[in-house]
A and B are shown apart, each in its own frame.
Chain A
C-alpha cells in the first residue's frame, strides 16, 4: 500500500505540469509569489472575521455582516492558494511524500477548509448582534489555530 502511494506520487511528479514547473527556472518562483500574495488576501479575510468574533477589530460591525462581505475574498483566496499550490506540489511530489510537514499541512488544510465553510460560517452568520458570544470565541480560536497550522507546516515543507 505504501509503495502504491509512492508510485502514485512519482507518477504525479512525472505529469506534464509537474515536469514543466520543475524544469523551468522561473515558473516555481513566480507561482510561489502568487501563493504568498494569496496568503495575504486570505489572511485579511480570515483574521478580520475571527478577530471580530473575539471582540477585536471592527467592533462596530456585527460578525455576520463582515463574514458575508468577506466570504468571496476568502473563497477567492483559498482558490488562488489551491491553483498555485497544486503545480508546486506536482513539481516535487516525491519530496513532499517524504516530508512530514507536507502531510500535516494536508490534514490540517482539509479540516480548516471544511470548518471554514460549515461551522465557522454558520456561527458567524448567526452573530447579527454586536455582543461577543462564547461559541463565537471558541469558533474563532479553532479557526485561527487551524489556519496557523496550515501556514506553519506549509512553510516547513521547505525545511523538512
Chain B
C-alpha cells in the first residue's frame, strides 16, 4: 500500500467523514488549533528570543527552559492532536497540497534543530546560563527555530489556498 492508497483509505473511514461533515466539530478543532498557536509559538518564540539574546536577557536560560519550555510542550501536544484530527478529516486534500508537504518538512527540520541544540550547546549551559549574549551555537539554534516555526505557521495558513494544484 502506497501513501496515496493509505490516505484514500483514511479518508473513507467513518471518523474522517464525521469531522469533515460536522457543522461544529471542524470549526472547533480548527479554532483550537489556531488559538493554541499563541501558546505554542508564544512560548517557543520567547525561548528562541532569549537564546538569540534579543528578549529577557537578564533571565537565566535555565529558568526559561525549566519554566517556559514545559508550557510550550503542552502547546505543541495540543497543536499535534488538533493538527492530526484536521489532517484526518481530509487526508487527500492534504496529499495534493504543496504547503502541507513543506509544512511537514519544516516541522521535521525544527525538531532536528531542537535536538541538535539540546545535544550540543545546551549541554554546557551552566557556562553561559546568565550570558546576555549566548554563544553562537545557541543564537543560531534560536534563530533557526524562529524561522522554521514561522515557516510552519505560514504554510499552515496557506494550506487553505489551493495554489500550484
Interface residues of A (CB under 8 A from B): 29, 32-33, 36-37, 39-48, 51, 56-61, 66, 69-70, 73, 148, 151-152, 155-156, 159
Q: Is the beta-carbon distance between A43 and B31 smaller than 8 angstroms?
A: no
Q: Is the beta-carbon distance between A73 and B41 smaller than 8 angstroms?
A: no
Considering the chains assembled together, what is the distance between the CA atoms of A66 and B35 in angstroms? 23
**In this assembly, does B9 line the interface, its C-beta being within 8 Å of a C-beta of chain A?**
no
Interface on chain A toward B: helix, strand, loop, or mixed SS? helix
Considering the chains assembled together, what is the distance between the CA atoms of A143 and B59 in angstroms? 24
Given A43-B37, A61-B59 in contact, is the A56-B42 Cβ separation under 8 Å? no
Q: Which residue of A lies closest to B60 (CB)?
A: A60
In the complex, how many angstroms separate the beta carbon of B49 from the nearest chain A beta carbon? 8
Q: Is the beta-carbon distance between A57 and B71 smaller than 8 angstroms?
A: yes
Which residues on B sit within 8 Å (CB–CB) of A60? 59, 63, 67
In the complex, how many angstroms separate the beta carbon of A155 from the nearest chain B beta carbon? 5
Considering the chains assembled together, what is the distance between the CA atoms of A29 and B154 in angstroms? 9
Q: Which of B27, B37, B161 contacts A39 (CB under 8 A)?
A: B37
Q: Which residue of A lies closest to B27 (CB)?
A: A159
**In this assembly, does B43 line the interface, its C-beta being within 8 Å of a C-beta of chain A?**
yes
Q: Is the beta-carbon distance between B37 and A40 smaller than 8 angstroms?
A: yes
Q: A33-B153, A61-B63, A69-B56 are in contact. List 7 more A-B contacts (CB 8 A).
A: A29-B160, A32-B157, A40-B40, A40-B45, A47-B42, A60-B63, A148-B35
Interface residues of B (CB under 8 A from A): 27, 30-31, 34-35, 37-43, 45-46, 55-56, 58-59, 63-64, 67-68, 71, 150, 153-154, 157-158, 160-161
Instruction: State the 6 A-B residue pairs at the shortest beta-carbon distance, nearest first.
Output: A43-B38, A40-B41, A44-B42, A43-B42, A44-B46, A33-B154
Q: Which of A46, A58, A66 has the largest count of B CB atoms less than 10 A from its CB? A: A58
Q: Is the beta-carbon distance between B63 and A58 smaller than 8 angstroms?
A: yes
Which residues on A sit within 8 Å (CB–CB) of B31? 152, 155-156
Return 27 A-B CB contacts under 8 Å, by A number.
Answer: A29-B157, A33-B154, A36-B34, A37-B154, A39-B38, A39-B41, A40-B37, A40-B41, A40-B45, A42-B38, A43-B37, A43-B41, A43-B42, A44-B42, A44-B46, A47-B42, A47-B43, A47-B71, A48-B46, A57-B67, A60-B63, A61-B59, A61-B63, A151-B35, A155-B30, A155-B35, A156-B31
